[in-house]
Structure 1
Amino acid sequence: MSEQVKITWHGHSCFKIEDEGFSIVIDPYLDGKVPGLKNLRLEANSVICSHDHDDHGYVEAVTIVDTDKESPFDLTLVACPHDDEGGMKRGMNMIHVLDNGSLRIAHFGDIGCPLNDAQREKIGKLDVAMLPVGGFFTMEPDGIEELIEQLQPRIVIPMHYRTEEFGFPVIGTLDDFLKLRSDVVRYDTNEITITKELPSQTAVLKYMD
């Protein structure tokens, strides 16, 4: 059981999570799909996607590296709509919860509506929540803030937002969300190492092209 996990943000909702020599990429995006982001070319032992839209499900961007190591993570899947119409508009989304026995990390994909009691209970107490904060295709920032208040994750990592350099024009900016937060820590890198000792924060990672 490892007591630290490395998380690297590759833009939009794509992350690489590494623990004990095992790596997982979540939500790789199609070449040219997200304005301002370079094409992804990653290596990992596994790849998972929250849904099959082009900006989240381009598994071809990831070269799978064989390993004798078993994944250190227990994986819990929590289904939720991608919209506020029960999935009728944009389909369904899968929240992935990874637990290595010491740290519990959740990637919320394109969550589109509030969670019910059963869903929140299944997600459990989180060390890290990677949450979409740009709205339009997902819950709006105030809804995400309410979800944070309900789940009380120790570390919040914003994703799926717009800046002057990248992102879909129709979604909100990072700053729109950060106005709701008082614990913002800006990193000059796209990496963060999660430990039990890391203070509670909203961790803004830097896109590194």
Structure 2
Amino acid sequence: MNIDWLGHSCFLFTNQDGLKVLTDPFNEKVGYPMPHIETDIVTVSHHHADHNYVQVLRGNPQVVDGEGAYNISGLPIQGTPTFHDAVQGAKRGKNTLFSFEMDGLRIAHMGDLGHLLTPDQLTDIGHVDIACIPVGGFYTIDAEQAYHVVQQLNPKIVLPMHYKLDETISLPIDGIDHFLERFANVKNSKTLDITLASLPQTQQVVVLELFSIE
């Protein structure tokens, strides 16, 4: 499986057969180049324009939106209901955490998670190999809370997202340093090619470079 980061909470997962899953496409106001690409499946964690801008995508992808069990193109996807804040959605509403398996690896994408996970949510999510976790705070969990979510899920690979990359990003969120300082094993990579056999033995945070959209 190959994983690219397109900015914000948007990742492109491509399995060995070429099936593509894209998460949380965003609009132009975020500050990254918009993801004008083709995908087979797109997940939408919640309906804010920096996470649900599916109209920017090429082709006609299947949209997965909301909690529940899905099977799209033979790919099982589980949507776990969570909240966008720490007060049961009273400030920012609901958020869906999506988990799915590609090439034998189980991925969990947190969306705009605003709280630590409950025992019921952890049971619903199950085992996780790769976790995409917001770390920038303000709208989501912050660096310290994200660290605790990592402890809850115990994935082998952590992919930070939803942080301020540079000053071109207009959102009032934090950078990545406060999250990274909590980990000893941090790797920077242009892209991530990963298989079940190549999973690291010890937990690793992988900071992906921004994918170049042509």
Q: TM (normalized to structure 1)? A: 0.89
Q: Label 1:66 to 1:38 Cα distance change in 2 as closer, same or farther (>3 A).
A: closer
Q: Label 1:117 to 1:107 Cα distance change in 2 as closer, same or farther (>3 A).
A: same
Structure 2 residue aligned with 1:12: 8
Structure 2 residue aligned with 1:95: 97
Q: Label 1:71 to 1:166 Cα distance change in 2 as closer, same or farther (>3 A).
A: farther
- Hey, what's the Cα distance between the residues in 1 that align with 2:61 and 2:122? 34
Deviation at 1:101, TM superposition (A): 6.7
Give unpaired runs (5+ residues) of structure 2. 63-71
- Hey, what's the Cα distance between the residues in 2 that align with 1:204 and 1:101? 21
1:198 maps to 2:199? yes
Deviation at 1:192, TM superposition (A): 0.8
Structure 1 residue aligned with 2:47: 52
Deviation at 1:124, TM superposition (A): 1.1
- Hey, what's the Cα distance between the residues in 1 that align with 2:156 and 2:74? 21
- Hey, what's the Cα distance between the residues in 2 that align with 1:156 and 1:168? 25
> Cα deviation per residue 1:18-46 (whole Å; 9 max; x = unaligned)?
1112111110001x2113x1232111112
Q: Label 1:166 to 1:121 Cα distance change in 2 as closer, same or farther (>3 A).
A: farther
Structure 1 vs Structure 2 CA RMSD: 1.8
Query: Please, which moves more after superposition, 8-17 or 164-173?
Result: 164-173
SS in 1 for 2:194: strand
Structure 1 residue aligned with 2:179: 177
Number of matched residues? 199
- Provide the identity percentage: 36
Instruction: Report if the CA contact (8 A) 1:12-1:167 is conserved.
Output: no
Deviation at 1:167, TM superposition (A): 2.8
